[in-house]
Amino acid sequence: MFCKDSRQENFLTAFGVAWKYMNAIKYSDLSPNWEQANLGRSEATVSEIVLEYAARTEAGSSAPAPILRRTAKGYDVSDGVQRLSAEQLLGTTIFSAYVVDTDSDLTADKIRVMANHLLSGHPESNEWNRRRAIEVLINDGGMSIDEVARLGGWKRKDVEQDKTYIDFGFAIRCIGGPQVMTKGVVMALADHAKLDDFRVAPKPIAEFCDDLKRGRFSNGESVPFVKAFFDVNRAARKTLHDQFTKRLETFRDDPEVQIRLSGRSPQRRKDDIRLRAAMKAAKTVTDDLVQVGATIVYLDEFYQLWNQVDANLKRLGKHSIAKAMA
């Protein structure tokens, strides 16, 4: 059994659409395969949620009425697939619902995506909802980052960062790179690459991404290599493919990369390779800070750390010479 709910009504009113609360709607009035069409979830129907709603209904609890959109093929379910599935499981044949009339597919998508985020009693994670909103409303629907951030109550920088992650992850997959890469590595690629690079030199970039994943480079470990790989002369567009091919060769010639790609675990890397990786990472960070003219507070602390590193290097040098002469 469904009931009226002020949250549903306020939600629809905020979208500025015409809606009406209607009784005696039949399941046969719904669009074909309604239970399989659910933009608001990673799975259209989740059996655990359906069973929970069914148990609550049997115990006498009423759930908020679903939201439907009137279309030529029947009512599309904009919100409430799990609740409708639960009622159907209990043998219900008619139900009440909020019915929306809109000719705008984008408005319908807004309602579908945001209903799960703002109304659902069993929502997906906040991150999943934000990324789905980006895919459906920005990439497909043409809305701006600012509009979607306001609509979902998200920080603009989070929406912008997720869009970058989605766009570059898609570009990597399109050129034959890994289907999944860690967010940190993808964001490192986005910091130094241009999406146009993927169109100009797909093969060497795809192989570079494959090597990063196969070598199990962590987010921080990947940065110096990503920065060096994409440090090309983009003004010379005709030679970009060759430039990236040479960058790939240089990357694969690096001793650390060779050890990683040979299949040995990071714990078994030679000591000099581990040390080189750490120092290269430190150099990359300081290069970036110098470039942007950063102001570092309490710089003496960093000099003290560097002096300790310098002293340790000297001790290692003496030990290495003594071992070699033994």
Residue 271 has pLDDT above 90, yes or no: no
Is the domain of 201 the same as that of 131?
no
**pLDDT tens by residue, 221-240:** 899 999 999 999 999 999 99
Q: Which domain holds residue 105?
A: 2-154
Q: Are 94 and 83 in contact (CB under 8 A)?
A: no
Is the domain of 143 the same as that of 167?
no
pLDDT confidence tier of residue 265, bands split at 50, 70 and 90: low
Residue finishing a domain among 105, 137, 154:
154
Burial class (CB in 10 A: 0-12, 13-18, 19+), 24: exposed
Q: Are 259 and 273 in contact (CB under 8 A)?
A: yes
Is the domain of 101 the same as that of 163?
no
Is the domain of 47 the same as that of 139?
yes
The whole-number average pLDDT for the span 175-194 is 95
Helix (H, G, I), strand (E, B) or coil at 37: coil
Burial class (CB in 10 A: 0-12, 13-18, 19+), 42: exposed
Q: In this predicted structure, what is the pLDDT of residue 174?
A: 96
E-state strands within the chain = 2-3, 18-26, 63-64, 67-71, 74-79, 94-101
pLDDT confidence tier of residue 148, bands split at 50, 70 and 90: very high
Is the domain of 236 the same as that of 246?
yes
Is the domain of 233 the same as that of 205?
yes
**pLDDT tens by residue, 115-143:** 989 998 888 899 999 999 999 999 999 99
Q: What is the pTM of this model?
A: 0.74
What is the number of domains present in the chain?
3
Is the domain of 15 the same as that of 38?
yes
Q: Are 31 and 71 in contact (CB under 8 A)?
A: yes
